[in-house]
């Protein structure tokens, strides 16, 4: 599927690009004019599977870009590792803990300043060990377990969770477009949202 983005500093050119795209039945985004757009693309901050999107609805791409840069400084790179570790832990908890309330409470306990501090200071293996201690603690006190807690490290994908991530894992990838958009030839003003980048 083809997409067109009009991002010149000439409004007349952008308007003509939008008209031509719609005439050809191609979806178009005019970065500073939602009325001439079929979709809007937010600014994004990505840390592996963690994706933060910022949108002003096309009102101010400059503000969206500014907020993206601020968030990029605030979100640590090692949160990519944290998300992967939590994914492994969640799969383990889903099979080990029958009670859904207990599962939710345990997952909330894993997202604590202590785990984040351990990840930052001790690395991925130290955070993995701390997560396993939390899971084992609930396993010892809960009568609703289906099976023993078992080490998080035994999960097949745990080899991806250690400190030294492969270089390809550190290369941001473009987010997939799962959002609905307007059909080709739709009227102006029916702008929808597709997650990518709202910066001019």
Q: Say if residue 90 is in the same domain as residue 131.
A: yes
Q: Say if residue 119 is in the same domain as residue 157.
A: yes
Total domains in the chain come to 2
pLDDT for 198 equals 54
Residue 199 domain flag:
no
Q: Say if residue 84 is in the same domain as residue 152.
A: yes
Q: Where in the sequence is the domain holding 19, given as residue range(s)?
A: 3-74+173-193
Residue 26 domain flag:
yes
Per-residue pLDDT of the chain (200 residues; tens, 9 = 90+): 789 999 898 999 999 999 999 999 999 999 888 888 998 889 999 999 999 999 988 788 889 999 999 999 999 888 999 899 999 989 988 887 788 888 888 888 788 778 888 888 888 888 888 888 877 776 676 555 444 444 444 334 443 443 444 444 344 444 444 443 444 444 444 444 444 445 55
Q: Say if residue 60 is in the same domain as residue 105.
A: no
User: How many CB atoms neighbour CB 173 within 10 A?
Assistant: 10
Residue 200 domain flag:
no
In degrees, to the nearest 5, what angle opens at C-alpha 23 toward C-alphas 22 and 29?
20
Classify each residue of 176-193 as buried b or exposed e, where b means 16 or more C-beta atoms within 10 Å of its C-beta. eeeeebeebeeeeeebeb
Residue 119 domain flag:
yes
- 8 A C-beta contact, residue 158 and residue 88: yes
Q: Where are the beta strands (DSSP E) in 11-170?
A: 27-30, 39-40, 43-47, 50-54
User: Using one digit for the tens of pLDDT, what is the confidence trace for 16-36?
Assistant: 999 999 999 999 999 888 888
Q: Say if residue 166 is in the same domain as residue 106.
A: yes
Q: Say if residue 20 is in the same domain as residue 100.
A: no
Alpha-carbon distance 86 to 92, whole Å?
10
């Amino acid at each position: 599927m083809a997409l067109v983005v009009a991002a010149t500093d000439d409004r007349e050119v952008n308007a003509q690009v939008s008209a031509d795209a719609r005439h050809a039945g191609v979806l178009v985004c005019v970065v500073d004019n939602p009325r001439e757009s079929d979709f809007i693309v937010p600014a994004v901050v990505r840390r592996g599977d963690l994706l933060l999107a910022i949108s002003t609805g096309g009102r101010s791409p400059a503000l969206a870009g500014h907020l993206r840069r601020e968030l990029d400084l605030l979100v640590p790179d090692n949160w990519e590792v944290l998300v992967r570790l939590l994914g492994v832990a969640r799969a383990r908890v889903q099979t080990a803990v029958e009670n859904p309330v207990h599962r939710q409470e345990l997952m909330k306990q894993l997202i604590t300043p202590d785990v984040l501090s351990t990840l930052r200071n001790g690395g991925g293996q130290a955070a993995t060990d701390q997560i396993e201690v939390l899971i084992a603690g609930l396993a010892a006190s809960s009568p609703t377990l289906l099976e023993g807690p078992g080490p998080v490290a035994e999960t097949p994908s745990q080899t991806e969770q250690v400190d030294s991530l492969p270089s390809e894992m550190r290369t941001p990838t473009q987010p997939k477009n799962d959002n609905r958009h307007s059909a080709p030839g739709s009227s102006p003003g029916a702008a929808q949202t597709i997650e990518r980048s709202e910066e001019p």
